[in-house]
Amino acid sequence: MSKLLYPSAFEELIASFRTLPGIGSKSAERMAYQILEMDEEAVSRFASSLLKVKNEIKHCQICGLMSDTDTCNICNSNIRDESLVCVVQSSKDVFALEKSEGYNGLYHVLNGVISTVNGKSVDELNLDSLVERVNEGKIKEVILATNPTVEGEVTALYISELLKDKEVIVTRLAYGLPVGAHLDYADELTLNRALQGRRKISNK
Amino acid sequence: MSKLLYPSAFEELIASFRTLPGIGSKSAERMAYQILEMDEEAVSRFASSLLKVKNEIKHCQICGLMSDTDTCNICNSNIRDESLVCVVQSSKDVFALEKSEGYNGLYHVLNGVISTVNGKSVDELNLDSLVERVNEGKIKEVILATNPTVEGEVTALYISELLKDKEVIVTRLAYGLPVGAHLDYADELTLNRALQGRRKISNK
């Protein structure tokens, strides 16, 4: 008995869903069935938003943040502190930092980290323009906010070397316990860093 | 400080992903970021497969199974037992039964069940054509294979009433323990049904 196959368009759609993060073949199948049951307007809106995201969203020419205009809202803003630049791995991180509402400087999005696994090399990162921005002389401090992972650390180290001779302070985000964490659940490395980075809270 | 917003196309894409089953706002965001990083060809393939699924896939004119041709491969096949029809809720179930390789008859896909919750009424189900098929006289047995849920049972009951006066045997899939299950984890209703449906295995 020959096996019953899905129509080819259906198979293609399942394959597309499978390329999404965290989606296995069962979930992809469920999603494709859902598409079958959605009304035509919703599906065509879905398809066109996919294309629009790919075609309309570029990187800000100054900082590399994703944006549908040539320069992003943050670079265009005149109420931000232009002497501060926070260097992050991806646009995602900018939105996370903006939600924290604790930062009013500018950003620089690398769109990647130096990685031997994914094969990203230094040239592929948005680094030349960072050096250019620093050379312009307005920036006084560069905050390295890459993730506290091996790749993030290597990238931070590389950038600090790159900016060594420039007239600019280079800082790194603090390590320590995440707020709301329990000491006994924290890993040793984090505890060590939290101890090293301890701060005085009384003046005696 | 005004909140930093995603570009509108990006927001739209997140909203589209959120309509998929089991996808919350965080996962939808991750998926949208993934789309940003996919190459253009993959994204346009994704978009076109969405549209193709919606435009090309119809229901088989005989049995209601999803198909990209007017009549499906199963209805077109000449090696299937035409005296048997298995009635299921959705195309998904046909593929599940075909995988089991234990059935060689035809199918009839209702594309829904009678439900007070989702508001599906009897008229919306693919039922008229089932009666027509039975009236043609080739079918000897109709196997009701709707899910063993309240809606599935109600629908099975309704169909059995509908076919009461026809020259056809109406059967229902067996209830019992799923293969590989543990007795102590089975619910009471399943255990009761398994007892009621017990079968003789010796001839003494």
Asked if B33 and B65 sit in the same domain, the reply is: no
Distance from CA of B130 to the nearest CA of A (A): 21
Asked if A70 and A170 sit in the same domain, the reply is: yes
Confidence of residue A119 (pLDDT cuts 50, 70, 90): low
The predicted pLDDT at position B119 comes to 65
Q: Is the per-residue pLDDT at B1 higher than 60?
A: no
Residue ending a domain, among B18, B34, B56, is: B56
Q: Is the per-residue pLDDT at B177 higher than 60?
A: yes
Helix axis angle, B40-56 to A25-37, nearest 10°: 50
Q: Is the per-residue pLDDT at A1 higher than 60?
A: no
Confidence of residue A37 (pLDDT cuts 50, 70, 90): confident
The pLDDT > 70 percentage for chain B reads: 98
Asked if B31 and B84 sit in the same domain, the reply is: no
- Among A49-58, A73-82, A93-102, which is the least confidently predicted range? A93-102
Residues of chain A found within 8 Å of residue B118, distances taken between Cβ atoms: none
Per-residue pLDDT, averaged over A60-77, amounts to 94
- Among A62-76, A85-99, B162-176, B184-198, which is the least confidently predicted range? B184-198
A54/B33 touch (CB, cutoff 8 Å), yes or no: no
Asked if B105 and B142 sit in the same domain, the reply is: yes
The predicted pLDDT at position A109 comes to 96
The answer to the question of residue B89 being in a domain is yes
| DSSP 8-class letter at B96 | H
Number of domains present in the structure of chain B: 2
Confidence of residue B191 (pLDDT cuts 50, 70, 90): confident
Return the CATH number at A50. Answer: 1.10.8.420
B95/A53 touch (CB, cutoff 8 Å), yes or no: no
Q: Is the per-residue pLDDT at A83 higher than 70?
A: yes
Asked if B76 and B96 sit in the same domain, the reply is: yes
B45/A12 touch (CB, cutoff 8 Å), yes or no: yes
B159 token code pair:
């169909």
Domain range holding A30?
A: 8-56
The predicted pLDDT at position A104 comes to 92
Question: Each residue of B87-127: pLDDT tens digit?
Answer: 999 999 999 899 888 899 999 999 989 988 776 788 889 99
Per-residue pLDDT, averaged over B7-30, amounts to 93
Question: Each residue of A156-182: pLDDT tens digit?
Answer: 999 999 999 999 999 999 888 888 888
Asked if B94 and B137 sit in the same domain, the reply is: yes
Asked if B68 and B118 sit in the same domain, the reply is: yes
The answer to the question of residue B28 being in a domain is yes
Distance from CA of B148 to the nearest CA of A (A): 20
Asked if B131 and B92 sit in the same domain, the reply is: yes
pTM score, whole prediction: 0.78
> Do the strands B169-172 and A81-88 form a parallel or antiparallel pair, or are they unpaired?
unpaired
Q: Is the per-residue pLDDT at A118 higher than 80?
A: no
The predicted pLDDT at position B43 comes to 95
Nearest residue, CB atoms, B16 vs list A3, A45, A90: A45
Average predicted confidence (pLDDT) for chain A: 90
Alpha helices by DSSP H, chain A: 8-18, 25-37, 40-56, 73-76, 91-100, 128-135, 150-162, 188-196
ipTM exceeding cut-off 0.90 for this assembly = no
The predicted pLDDT at position B5 comes to 86
Distance from CA of A70 to the nearest CA of B (A): 12
Asked if A42 and A128 sit in the same domain, the reply is: no
Per-residue pLDDT, averaged over B186-194, amounts to 86
Question: Are the C-beta atoms of A36 and A48 separated by less than 8 Å?
Answer: no
Contacts 24+ apart (CB under 8 A), B169-172: B169/B140, B169/B141, B169/B142, B170/B141, B170/B142, B170/B144, B171/B141, B171/B142, B171/B143, B171/B144, B172/B143, B172/B144, B172/B145
Distance from CA of B21 to the nearest CA of A (A): 6
- Among A45-54, B53-62, B117-126, B148-157, which is the least confidently predicted range? B117-126
B156 φ, ψ (degrees, to nearest 5): -60, -45
Confidence of residue A2 (pLDDT cuts 50, 70, 90): low
Residues of chain B found within 8 Å of residue A40, distances taken between Cβ atoms: 54
Q: Is the per-residue pLDDT at A196 higher than 80?
A: yes
B164 token code pair:
């009461």
Nearest residue, CB atoms, A12 vs list B20, B49, B101: B49
With CA atoms as reference, report the closest residue to B36 among A68, A15, A30, A151: A68
A46/B7 touch (CB, cutoff 8 Å), yes or no: no
The answer to the question of residue B1 being in a domain is no
Distance from CA of A198 to the nearest CA of B (A): 31
A21/B31 touch (CB, cutoff 8 Å), yes or no: yes
Per-residue pLDDT, averaged over B142-171, amounts to 93
Nearest residue, CB atoms, B7 vs list A57, A98, A101: A57
Residues of chain A found within 8 Å of residue B92, distances taken between Cβ atoms: 29, 33
The predicted pLDDT at position A35 comes to 94
Nearest residue of chain B to residue A16 (CA atoms): B46
Asked if A85 and A131 sit in the same domain, the reply is: yes
A36/B66 touch (CB, cutoff 8 Å), yes or no: yes
| Distance from C-alpha of B65 to C-alpha of B134, rounded to nearest angstrom | 17
The predicted pLDDT at position B77 comes to 92
Nearest residue of chain B to residue A40 (CA atoms): B54
Nearest residue, CB atoms, A35 vs list B33, B54, B104: B54
